[in-house]
Structure formats: C-alpha cells, structure tokens
Amino acid sequence: MRPPGPLLRIPYTNPLPSPTIHPPFASTLPGAVSALSSFLLDPASSLNPKTVILTGAGLSVASGLADYRGTNGTYRVNKTYRPIYYHEFTASHAARKRYWARSFLGWSNLSKAQPNSSHYAIRDLAKLGLISSVITQNVDSFHPKAHPEVKTLELHGYLRAATCLSCGGEYDRNEFQKELARLNPRWDSFLQKVLMTGALETEDPVEKQRRGVIMNPDGDVEVPDAPYTTFRYPACPSCLAKPPDAVGTDGKKGIVEVDADGAWGGNSNAGILKPAVVLFGESIAERVKEAAEDAVDEAGRMLVLATSMATYSAWRLVKRAKDRGMPVAVVNMGGVRGDDVFFKDLEPEQDGSQGVRTEVPTQSLLPALVQELQRSQSRVFGSPAEIAKFEQGNRAIFKDMLS
C-alpha cells in the first residue's frame, strides 16, 4: 500500500461515497453516544485500553475556519481555490509574495479563532483516562490550546510559527505579522480597512465574497485583483546575520540579501521563511512520521474525528491501526476514503465495541458522549456524595447488627 519514496502531503480530490452506519443505531445522537461509549469502554481488547484520536479539518469548522471539503465530501465554498504547493513556494519569489500577502490578510482572524466544544470534549475524555494521545492534521493549534496536558502530535505542522528553509529556526507568527505590517504599510492600511468592514469576521461565505474577500482553509484570504507582486517579506534574521554554509535553493553557497527595510531579495538564495506547516506536496519529516506511528502503536483503539482522510498521511495511520487489530471508530459527516476497509469484518449485532461509523456532528456528539461517560463512571465508582451516603448506610446496618 505504501508508495515508494517520502511521505508527501497530497490532497485527494475524488468524490467520496456516502457511508454505511455501524452499528445501524448510531445514526441518531443517542445511538451514536451509546455506540461510542461501548467503543471507548470495551474491556475485551488485549491491547492498551486507551484510545488514540485522529482529527481533521471538520473539527475546526465550528470555530469559524474553512474546511477543504463540505459536508457531502465534495462541495467546497470556493471551488477555484488551489492551495500553494511546496515546490512553488521554494522555487518562486513571486509565489511566496502571493502566499505571504494572503496569509497576512488571514492571520488576524485566524489568530483570534478559538477551540470549540469538540476540542474541549477531547480534553474531558482524556480527564476520564480514556485517551492515550491526539494526532491532528489541523494546523490551527486548537488542540494544544484546548488541552495542553494531552499529548498532541501535529502531523502537518502549525501556522503559529514561521520556519527558515535554510537553518530551521522558528519565529512566532504574531511577531512575524508585525514585521510584515512594517514592510508593507499600504497592505497594512488595506487590512485595517477590511477588518473595519467586518468582512473577515462574518460567517457567511457569500457575504464575505460580496465584501470583496474570499476565505480559504489554513488562513488564506483571497482578494481579487490584489497587487501581490508589491508584497514584501523579511529574511530569516539568523541567516541574515550569518549566511548559511549549506547551499541555497539553487545549489550554490547561501546568500542572504535584503533591501534597506529588511525585505528578502537581491541575489538571495537562502534564509527564506515558510509557514511551519507541511505544505501540499511537501514531505512529512521522518521524526513526525515515526512519532505518529508510535502514537498509534501505543494505543488499543483509534477514534477518527471530522476528517475524510483525504490525505494519504492520515489514511495510512488508520490502516496501520486496523492492521494491528485495533477497533476503529469514524465520526465524519460525509464519505471517508477507503471506509469499507475499516468496517467489513464487524459482526452485525456488535454494540460499537468492534467499530463505529457515524455522521452525527462532533460538536454535538462529543459533549454528549462526555456527559454519558462521566455519568457511567460515577455509577461504577460512585460520586463522593454517593460514596458518603453508602458508608452512612453501612454504619446504620452495622449499628443494627450490634444491638
């Protein structure tokens, strides 16, 4: 199944068929809660009783961020949108200007967006002792924000930093934003104007478009006819101070030159700053790939949330779980790539402990699931008040026995 060569992040754009629900009663909210409770609590497995969670873009939609796919798995708000590819970013100064201009416009809104009920429900599931770790394909940092105490692996990196292609140094995205504003005062005035119209804050994509902006996934904002060629971005400060000995993008010794204000250019071939995300067409770092495999291997089940597993990097992790004999649950509105592979061996009468497939939205399902599990846990172990009452009852019985 594994393609030769490095593991690339590549979008899968074919339409996906509608899923078969497992067990059939998981088509309703109470049914899905019951099935997932059985899934998470099943004591039968000989593997680790804890679950590894894999999440995707659908989880952040309730935070106001755009998804790559719509609910039916094919429709997208902006059908003409095509994300930048790694080779374009590294090879072309013009492509980088365009990328950073659009990212500059999108960042203020993205940095204000907050985790939603699904992220906090994951925190609560972990508090119940049910979760081993989280693997996310999302680059919005909502998981580390909502549950810093839960081990989280960001498979495709994160937008909260920019990283240097030459030295690997990382820079805080908020500080980087200030540099972009300083180098591009007219773009900054334009951004302030757009922010004042509220066009970036409205949830309605049609209204956004009417106000002249198009929001795409991963903080990309498109403004038709904008003069992207005028945008400037800074060079890596450490590579500027000490040009790298290693070769630049053209195979020659590293050269880092900036204009009077500090914008990258001239004869530069190094010190290029890139978002700390795995761009499409870029390889996932070997250590990240291995950490993701370890996260799967140390768990006993896998719960997949709000992803169509459109990227092979995500799909192969679920396949790995299944091949290890781990039960798999998938919560996603719309089809999922290669879905049948994960559920074809389930017994028809199973209660969810062997596997779950449901389309109930995570933002209503996960908080309800947490409530149910908190209730059932207090039934098993007893809440402090219940235990006190039980002990009081015992004392009364013992007193009777003595008299």
CB of 288 to Zn ion, least distance (A): 20
Instruction: Quote the DSSP letter at residue 83.
Output: P
Task: Say which DSSP state 22 is in.
Answer: B
Closer to Zn ion by CB, 179 or 222: give it. Answer: 179
| Binding site per annotation, positions | 164, 167, 236, 239
Distance in angstroms (rounded) separating the CA atoms of residues 86 and 42: 43
Written as six digits, the tokens of 58 are: 């659908």
Nearer to Zn ion, 36 or 236 (CB): 236
Residues that bind Zn ion (CB under 5 A): 164, 166-167, 169, 236, 239
Q: Which residues are catalytic?
A: 156
Q: Answer left, alpha or beta for residue 393, where phi above 0 means left and psi between -120 and 50 means alpha.
A: alpha
Nearer to Zn ion, 150 or 239 (CB): 239
The two three-digit tokens of residue 277, written as one number: 């995300």
Which one, 167 or 341, has the nearer CB to Zn ion?
A: 167
Residue type, 82: R
In the numeric block, the tokens 């099935």 are attached to 35
Min separation Cβ 171 and Zn ion, Å: 9
Reference 327, options 311, 310, 359, 304; nearest CA is 304
Task: Tell me how crowded residue 82 is: count the other CB atoms within 10 A of its CB.
Answer: 10
C-alpha 19/C-alpha 336 separation (Å) is: 7
320-351: burial string, b at 16+ Cβ within 10 Å, e else: bbbeeebbbbbbbbbbbbebeebbeebeeebb
Which of residues 169 and 281 has its CB atom nearest to Zn ion in the complex? 169
Per the listing, tokens 């070997």 go with 286
Strands annotated E in 28-100: 51-55
Q: Which structure tokens are listed for 290? A: 């291995």
CB of 176 to Zn ion, least distance (A): 13
| Secondary structure class of 140 (helix, strand, coil) | coil
What are the structure tokens assigned to 369, written together?
Answer: 């699931």
Check if the beta carbon of residue 9 is closer than 8 Å to that of residue 316: no
Q: Are strands 264-265 and 257-258 parallel, antiparallel or unpaired?
A: antiparallel
Residues annotated as binding site for Zn(2+)? 164, 167, 236, 239
Report in angstroms how near the CB of residue 31 gets to Zn ion at its nearest.
Answer: 53
Q: Which is nearer to Zn ion, 31 or 157 (CB)?
A: 157
Helix (H, G, I), strand (E, B) or coil at 374: helix
- CA gap 257, 182 in Å, rounded: 18
> How far apart are CB 242 and Zn ion at their closest, in Å?
9
